[in-house]
Structure 1
């Protein structure tokens, strides 16, 4: 690999760009959004994600700007928000990394893009491409501004609605799981020191995750509805109303849940692209290839693992080959499928009002993730 185009500046794209550039490859990264680092609220990073972030050379910054914790609580939707169970999370990234770090998503994006720039990645935001034409030796790319380039490989890391996937003619159905999630970014009360989950009550899940010394993001999961007509003030009112059934630390959160601009609503969606994830010299990673609801908090982690494995294989091989792509599929497909299936199973239990073995499923997935991808 002499030169690579990465499409998409999220976790998968930025990580792939950094690792390839560090390995001596000339890398260009484009993203259609004007400022990737301005988007999102909070993000939960489990140990297997932290392991990749350490490989990228950004772990110390993540630790400084995020909030680390090593346990998970389950609380009842009763007037006291009773703590009914507490689990020590497995450190899936190894014993020298925390089990989980919560942080502000735009802060992580800025750390990653700054690291990419330091590694020599040439980044262009607010742009996309209009044509991909590949042959046996490379990919000719025409950009929206009329410029063009030729690359040994194109990495499509452009998210759940991937333009690259559509340009390849891949018809992949992204389906709604049947749930919608309200998220809010707020000040962190002293009572919130880790993630606690409340199952039941009028909503499927209510929870929160600290993202820094002074911040957190909180969320409430309901049936998927069309909430697009609500104003920011109305959205805030709906989230506050839904949260009224949850107490304990939620009472403290609700007291500071006052900024309409910090509330957003999205549906849980999912898809999984059958292997292989490449078509000739174009490969899809991250949400472009597999997307799951955040019930296992593994979306970013799986994207980072895709990037890490892909970069490792590209740098270890002299050329693109069937052997390289078979290795990539072997190391990534079943692992990603297990995470997607587990995330969907948690949703099905909730939608069917079935008392499934949530701790058991989480423990099984965590033991899998302790093994490096």
Structure 2
């Protein structure tokens, strides 16, 4: 009789949490370590989850909580810098007709829902812990942790983000590269008539937009050319975002009025990355942002991470040996879909940086979202 398998998941974000929940459901013993001591201390103010992400969240059993905690909608508004509504388009329901096109939700609420589901699954969770050494052989991985403890695992899933230390530790040389853009984000009260995302192309920034995240909240963002973060003191973040948004009309004056606390403003550079060839080395497998990253121009980062976890868990629990062939199948199932999203996300940003006026942004978005309606 085969002994119960034991998996270590490094990282408690979307990919790590989803993988843990699905493997525990199949009876696999899972230990999850997360470097942050406060699991809910997530960067950013809000997140946009499109239908293909919602499809995975439903599979995890958390969809009803996500729907109750966020704000569901089926449209995207395009406005002029002065606030004039130019067009309201119906969004693709990439998760199927029985799910909304999009849900906006506060990042901390989403993380809290996933963390609760991980704990309820029976996984062992340790916070404020890093894996500092991995020694592999043909049967598994011996992992040494920052607190001096060691444990033996049959498989390690590295879901420790775009700057993954595990990726580097196993000899994968891919690194995230800046795309030339950066984003400012902040939470604000939601006016009653903001019932879907609205975006403006042009004005003082490349993109300015806002998305409802709950009954009383939204998150607002502006995208500008990348600047050296070291040149922007954190205490000036509110001033910088207020300067960029001052010329926009519509709901922006009300949003800008809440831009007073620099600690509530998040600034992040856009990056791209795609690990080529395979997403594993021996018994260590990459998932989510550790394997790929893209700018949020298509709002697909979390969705791709959740899909990774779904596909990997499916393969790991179908009764086959955990070997190179299985891990390579995981890569080959995921990489065409991920590549298409990464390339489209980067291309949209590049068109804006280069000032391409006849770029078919709606067409590229539509084709990409149509592809994502297919099951991963």
TM tier, smaller = over 0.9
Within 5 Å, which residues of 2 pair with 1:207-226?
Answer: 207-226=209-228
Match of 2:40 in 1: 37
CA contact (8 A) 1:317 1:324 kept: no
* The 10-residue stretch of structure 1 (221-230 or 293-302) with the greater mean CA deviation from structure 2: 221-230
Shift of 1:233: 4.5
Of 50, 56, 68, the match for 2:54: 50
**Partner Cα separation in structure 2 for residue 233 and residue 187 of structure 1:** 22
Distance 1:286 1:43 in 2: 16
Secondary structure of 1:92's match?
A: coil
1:18 matched to 2:21? The reply is yes
How far apart, in 1, do the equivalents of 2:246 and 2:229 lie?
19
Tell me the SS of whatever aligns to 1:324. helix
TM-fit CA distance, 1:206: 0.3
Q: Does 1:6 align with 2:13?
A: no
CA distance in 1, matches of 2:91, 2:186: 24
Alpha-carbon RMSD across the aligned residues, in angstroms, is: 1.2
Alignment equivalent of 1:353, drawn from 334, 337, 355:
355
SS in 2 for 1:142: strand
Q: 1:73 aligns with which of 77, 84, 92?
A: 77
**Structure 2 counterpart of 1:105:** 107
Give secondary structure in 2 for the equivalent of 1:247: coil
Moved more, 20-29 or 33-42: 33-42
- The alignment partner of 1:38 has SS state of coil
What's the CA shift string for 1:105-160, capped at 9, x where partnerless?
01111110110110111111101112111111111111111111111100000000
State the Cα deviation string for residues 329-358 of structure 1 (Å, max 9, x = none).
Answer: 221011000000000010111000112111
Larger displacement relative to structure 2 (208-217 or 312-321): 312-321
Secondary structure at 2:267 match in 1: strand
> Aligned partners of 2:188 and 2:97: how far apart in 1?
31
Report the count of equivalent residues. 371
1:227 Cα shift? 3.7
SS in 1 for 2:230: coil
Match of 1:162 in 2: 164
TM-score normalized by the length of structure 1:
0.97
Do 2:282 and 2:324's aligned partners in 1 also have CA atoms closer than 8 Å? no
Are positions 1:147 and 2:161 aligned together?
Answer: no
Return 26-35 or 327-336, whichever deviates more. 327-336
CA contact (8 A) 2:155 2:283 kept: yes
2:133 alignment partner in structure 1? 131
State the shift of 1:85 in Å: 1.6
Deviation at 1:275, TM superposition (A): 2.6
CA contact (8 A) 1:270 1:292 kept: yes
TM-score, normalisation: structure 2 = 0.96
Distance in structure 1 (CA, Å) of the matches to 2:171 and 2:330: 21
